[in-house]
A and B are shown apart, each in its own frame.
Chain A
Amino acid sequence: MAWYTVKRLIQGIITVWFIATATFWAMHQVPGDPFIGEKAVSPEVEANLKARWGLDKPPLEQYWIFMRNMGQGDFGISFAQESRSVNDIILERFPVSAILGILAIVFAGLGGVLYGALTALYRNQWPDVLIILLVIIGISVPSFVFASVGQLVLVIINQILGFNVLPVAGWGDISHMLIPALVLGLGTMAFLTRLMRSSMLEIVSADFIRTARSKGVPSAQVFSRHQLRNAVLPVITVLGPSVASITTGGFVVENIFGIPGLGQSFVLAVQQSDYGVIMGTTVFYGAFLVLMVIIVDLLYAWIDPRVRLE
């Protein structure tokens, strides 16, 4: 296990190097000068700016400096907010995205299991129909449409009630996070509900359930101890990959709800050609995903004895 962990970590580091190289290469192909401004700048000023960020050096040297600094965990300075380092910006913004993402995953996971179990229990009765409808919306309505409509509905509800049930936008306490997290988690929730449903239905007809029933185990116990527990397993396995799809939606949700997360800052950085932030965010985020995959793999091995580590 220890050897396997070390091996995976080394692979992870190589992967991050690959991501960093690809990002560096891509950034240097982008046309447009990051220092160009609305007001024309004199050549002397531009030369000074380039020297300050080391953009006057040959690409290979820039690459070497970038890699060396990155190795020390330093992504340099933001081009657009000169007095701030990219590390500052990422450290500020990543926790926000992470909290939102975790909350969305929790919503999606809990909702998926609950709804999935409910639909399976009340197969073809009204709760089933209702939840399937929810699933259909979750699968087919793009998150940006859902976010916009959701915000408007919230405004209307707040107005009808005469006070703010939940804030419409912004960032602060948990009340700001609920709606964005719900919007963000809905697609995944729908996916998990579907998975849970079919997994439940499959298990209903499994031998060990029949055995338990025939032994006279009360049906509530059969449900909670055997059926639910076994049905949840496949749901857990897909939670990992869901992280990626949740962060995708995060871009739009963060913009519409004014949440100061990493996605919002990336879109802004792209618009401002803020090389430092673009490269820093991409590499950091890629490294984060790689780490998540390793952790999930190790967890599987730990939870499920059938998984053997080579």
Chain B
Amino acid sequence: MSDIGTYSFKRAQVDLDREEISRPSLSYWQDAWYRIRTNRRTLASLFIVVFMVVVAAFGPMLWHFEYDTQDLNQTSKPPWASRAMTVIEPYTPWVDRPVVERWSDTGAPADIQAIGFPSIEFVRLTWAPVQGATRYTIYRTIVDPEDGPLGLPLGNVIGESENTYEDRIDLEQRTYWYSVEATFADGSTTSTTQSLDVAAAATLDGAIESGWIEADSDLQPGDTLKTPWHPLGTDYLGRDMLARLMKGAQISLFIGIVAPLLFILLGVVYGSFAGFLGGKVDSLLMRFADFVVALPFLLFMILFKLVFGIGAGESGILPMLVALVLLSWPAAARLVRGQILQIREEGYIDASRLLGTKTTRLILRHMIPNTMGVILVTFTFAVPSTIFTEAFLSFIGMGVEPPIPSWGSMCNDGRKTMETTPHELIFPAIFISITVLAFNILGDGLRDALDARMRSTE
């Protein structure tokens, strides 16, 4: 080593200002919150998630419809359906049926007419019968049949001189084409078609029973009333879709959030136990976790549902929670154990230990915060997949019990009518999609914010 003369050194100019920390020092969580705040997508999804939770928590309390109140006069109504209804006399069985005044001379039933006011409560038809007919079949359809099939066979009346039929089945406010087909002794048939506008109407009693008007209302037959507003329409039993969706949000979010909370908690305890203890216990515990991971998830979800059984009046939420927790904890346990093993080896832990930090402080100050990020991210991603699982099980009829709605079972109900009343499928599907998407984006954002190593490049 050569001698270096002191003259070689010059006193450096120290610029202390440069060393000054210009921004406030951010803790881990402050930094995370800053990142979340500045990421518009994450913020939007966080907002949606909070919104959904608020809707689920308070919506059913505030909204004046109950999720299970049926209104059989308003089934499967889309949101845009007309709400006006004419008040009519109470329904009484049809006794004063008209006698045959005139026989048809065309060979087919003629003069199909409605007696009284044709409404969704009942349509009373009469026609001029044909000589030689043995029975009449009444059809109804929603498009002009022209020369094609007559549509929906409603029923038969047997006898040559029969000339009336009362239709009460599933009527809606629209134009119907009614056909009367006469069948003759030799099996031949003739028919006549007549279009008829059927009006929306309700009896006073019916309207009171449905809760559309007050019992002391002074409405008279012939007046018009307005049925309650269902902003998202009604389902197949006339239940308010919005009320059901909000109740469904309660169920779906409850299971979607509580189940991951529980199984991640279990996983954290199990995983950190294994990680801290290490050695034989660790490998034994983790081998057991491997077994549970190997169980075919969906098959066992269904098996567990059968094993627990759902008694009368039970919602089926608890068995589903238990099954989810029993089957899903090992992933979290593995993750936490891995994290703890890894952190234990980190240089800063050694450094901190060298500086004399106590074990408790080590765990609280380093281990927990450093795993919290990963756990939180895992949780956020577990929520949408649990919501999917619940929806899926409800879809195949293994989910929550009716009349309690879940988004999955509502989708299943709506799927059957997706061609005619698509709103029954679209709304629950949208709710699932938005929620699942929001949780996914939130998860991405959290990952960026909380975990430097897992940060995506997007």
Contacts and interface: CB of A to CB of B under 8 A. Distances in A.
Given A29-B307, A198-B456, A198-B458, A248 B395 contact: no
Given A198-B458, A282-B300, A139 B437 contact: yes
Contacts of A18: 291, 294
Given A139-B437, A270-B306, A281-B299, A152 B419 contact: yes
Given A198-B457, A252-B396, A142 B408 contact: yes
A30 B306 contact: yes
B429 A141 contact: yes
Interface string B244-268: 0000000000000000000000000
Interface stretch (A20-28, A60-68, A216-224): A20-28
Contact of B309 (A26, A27, A31, A248): A31
B440 A139 contact: yes
A238 interface: no
A20 to B, nearest CB: 11
A289 B294 contact: yes
Given A282-B299, A286-B295, A286-B296, A248 B418 contact: no
A149 B418 contact: yes
Nearest to A16: B294
Contacts of B418: 148-149, 152
Contacts of A154: none
Interface of chain B, main secondary structure: helix
Contact of A19 (B294, B391, B433, B458): B294
Interface in B277-301: 290-291, 294-300
A160 to B, nearest CB: 15
A141 to B, nearest CB: 5
A29 B304 CA distance: 9
A290 interface: yes
B316 to A, nearest CB: 15
Interface in B426-458: 429, 432-434, 436-437, 440, 456-458
Contacts of B458: 197-198, 201
Interface of A is mostly: helix
11 contacts: A11-B290, A22-B300, A30-B303, A30-B307, A30-B309, A140-B436, A142-B388, A144-B395, A152-B419, A202-B457, A247-B298
User: Size band of the B side of the interface?
Assistant: 35 or more
Given A139-B437, A139-B440, A142-B392, A286 B298 contact: no
A15 B429 contact: no
A266 interface: yes
A247 B395 CA distance: 16
A285 B425 contact: no
A26 B294 contact: no
Contacts of A251: 298, 392, 396
Interface of B: 290-291, 294-300, 302-304, 306-307, 309, 388, 391-392, 395-396, 408, 411-412, 415, 418-419, 425, 429, 432-434, 436-437, 440, 456-458
**Residues of A in contact with B, size category:** 35 or more
A26 B319 CA distance: 14
A145 interface: yes
Given A29-B307, A148-B418, A285 B299 contact: yes
B419 A145 contact: no
A154 B282 CA distance: 53
Contacts of A202: 457
A130 interface: no
Contact of B296 (A11, A197, A255, A289): A289
